[in-house]
Amino acid sequence: MLEYFFAAYTAATALLITSHYIEALKLKTTLKITWHLIIALTTCTLYYVKLIDEVSLTLGLSFTAISALISTYTITYTQVHHYPSHLELLMDIFLLSLISSYIAPSFILMVIAWTISEIVGYMLIRIGEEYSTEGSLTSSRGYILTSTMSFELSVFTMITISTLLTAANIGLYELIKPFTQKTITVTTPIIIIPLLMLGFLVKTANIPLHFWLPSAHSSAPSPASASLSGLMVSLGYYGLYRVLEYIDIEQYSTHIALFFIAVGLMSILYGGQQALTQRDVKKLLAYSTIATNGFISTVFAIYITQPTEITKFTLILSILMHAAYKTTLFSEAGLIEAVYGTRYIHGVRGFVNTAPLSTIGGLLSVFSLLGVPGTLGFTVKLLSAYCSLTMMNTHPVIAFTTITSILAYIIVSAMIALRYSRIYYGEEPGKIEFMVEKLSKSMQTPVLLMGLLNVLLILTSVTLITYEYWSILALTTLIAVLSVLLSYTHFKTTSTRLKK
């Protein structure tokens, strides 16, 4: 079995490297999709032989689909924005290491893949600093010193604890074993728990450990921003989920949950307020990441308090919601920059005429933020509220505070969505000089497909739910599709009429 996985990863890596030296667009795209298919098949095989669980399967397959779209998007993005050719290679290595972090069978393998992604992520931010005319010049430094070093501290603490507790039948071997074969949990002193969680909390960029994220994610090239914000930030929650499988926190669960709710609510309010005051579209999206992570922290608090299948399902869906809408909008930000030569969107209007295909994907992401029925955003917000209400009798304080945080996010996310959606309608700006009049289909199509995942990922998450939910999700999906078609038609008609 090990030989199979080694051969699969060798083949995927070979195709990844080969695609970098191919000039023909169709062949390059085919090679990129092929190595993603190999990784997807490997993920399914790992699940079939019971080396990974349904959480890794769902996240692994979903993020592989998103990764394939980001990878193909990077081809034309690199050419249009005149980035160095090795950006494409670094992006593929970064995406492969991120997927590997989610589908790694054991804690040690997860750490190895995660560390590789941290190093490559730093290199991508450095490229953004060197070649972009907008953004901070110290972002990579803050990223490597804050995000990466704190993660290594938590990993070191985890390994140290496992070694010191060898006498209690837990050692380093337990961290090498697959997650599905884990048999032991231990109780640790409460003073150790913050050290275990610190690195993962910094990665989630919640208040007050958020300061590194806005400049780092906005300075990177758009494909890297999409991956960092949509895929990598969620590793913080995934890492916490895995660490807490080894540590018995039942006696501290209420205190830990209240901590997550507090930082979550502060992150929602602060991230939302900052996002609404930004003119730079990538800064707007970076601060919205802080707000959405605050919401995911609230859902994580619900899971800690009441670790049931439905709360776990809600947590996973909240991660997918963020990944789907954030990768789409960050990729669309790259299109905006290509058309107008700037990331400042306060004067951008009528983008639906310049990029009609990608606008559909962008609208689906906006609808997910708004919580339109049939989108991931609607499903997650509804499920999180339901889970909170079910705790009203057993944990009234947790229930009340989580409901407050959820309501705050519903309001904040809707305001951010309405603020962003201004770019689609209205008369095209006369003051801004167009760099290109129309974007190619090859550049718009990946963004369109990313946007569709805001609906499709609900249906592909059925590995975590039972049969009775399927018909409901399928029905509400039609509402989202009809809504986006109506909005698209309205924006297109309005913008064309004003232009005339």
77-119 tens-digit pLDDT: 888 888 888 889 999 999 999 999 999 988 888 888 888 888 8
Residue 39 pLDDT more than 90?
A: yes
Q: Write the CB contacts of 315 (distance below 8 Å, at least 6 apart in sequence).
A: 237, 241, 296, 299, 300, 302, 303
DSSP symbols for 87-130? HHHHHHHHHHHHHHHHH-SBHHHHHHHHHHHHHHHHHHHHHHHH
Read off φ and ψ for residue 202, nearest 5 degrees: -60, -40
Q: Write the CB contacts of 445 (distance below 8 Å, at least 6 apart in sequence).
A: 357
Decide: 247 and 170 in contact? Cβ < 8 Å: no
> Percentage of the chain with pLDDT > 70?
78
Nearest alpha-carbon partner for 224 in 399, 84, 423: 84
CA-to-CA dists, residue 73 to 37, 181, 283, 379, angstroms: 17, 38, 21, 28
Task: Give the model's pLDDT for residue 145.
Answer: 52
Residue 293: count other Cβ atoms within 10 Å of its Cβ: 31
Cα torsion angle, 377, 378, 382, 385, sign: positive
Task: Give the model's pLDDT for residue 35.
Answer: 93
Indicate the pLDDT class of residue 372, thresholds 50, 70 and 90: confident
CA-to-CA dists, residue 294 to 236, 392, 398, angstroms: 12, 21, 15
Q: Give residue 337's identity as a one-letter amino acid code.
A: E
Indicate the pLDDT class of residue 74, thresholds 50, 70 and 90: very high
Nearest alpha-carbon partner for 435 in 295, 336, 346: 336
d(CA 170, CA 176): 11
Decide: 317 and 380 in contact? Cβ < 8 Å: yes
Read off φ and ψ for residue 344, nearest 5 degrees: -85, 120
Length of the chain: 500
Residue 146 pLDDT more than 80?
A: no
Average pLDDT in the 314-323 region? Answer: 92
> Percentage of the chain with pLDDT > 90?
28
Residue 166 pLDDT more than 50?
A: no
Task: Give the model's pLDDT for residue 255.
Answer: 86
Task: Give the model's pLDDT for residue 403.
Answer: 93
461-497 tens-digit pLDDT: 554 554 445 555 555 556 656 666 666 665 556 555 4
Decide: 344 and 280 in contact? Cβ < 8 Å: yes
Average pLDDT in the 206-214 region? Answer: 77
Average pLDDT value over all residues in the chain: 81
- More confidently predicted of 80 and 134: 80
Task: Give the model's pLDDT for residue 300.
Answer: 94
343-369 tens-digit pLDDT: 888 777 778 888 888 888 998 999 899
Nearest alpha-carbon partner for 304 in 355, 358, 264: 264
E strands, 29-177, in order: none
d(CA 390, CA 308): 12
211-261 tens-digit pLDDT: 777 777 778 889 999 999 989 888 889 988 888 887 777 778 888 899 999
End-to-end CA distance of the chain: 64
What single DSSP character describes residue 473? H
Nearest alpha-carbon partner for 148 in 199, 102, 213, 217: 199
Average pLDDT in the 385-403 region? Answer: 90
Task: Give the model's pLDDT for residue 332.
Answer: 92
- Report the range of poorest mean pLDDT among 51-55, 127-131, 327-331, 490-494: 490-494
Decide: 90 and 16 in contact? Cβ < 8 Å: no
Nearest alpha-carbon partner for 226 in 362, 399, 391, 375: 362
Residue 163 pLDDT more than 70?
A: no
Q: Indicate left, alpha or beta for 348 from its phi (over 0: left) and psi (-120 to 50: alpha).
A: beta
- Report the range of poorest mean pLDDT among 176-180, 449-453, 472-476: 472-476
Task: Give the model's pLDDT for residue 167.
Answer: 39
Question: In the Cβ-directed half-sphere of 14, how many Cα atoms lie within 13 Å?
Answer: 7
Decide: 199 and 153 in contact? Cβ < 8 Å: yes
Decide: 287 and 274 in contact? Cβ < 8 Å: yes
Structure token digits, residue 497: 């009429």
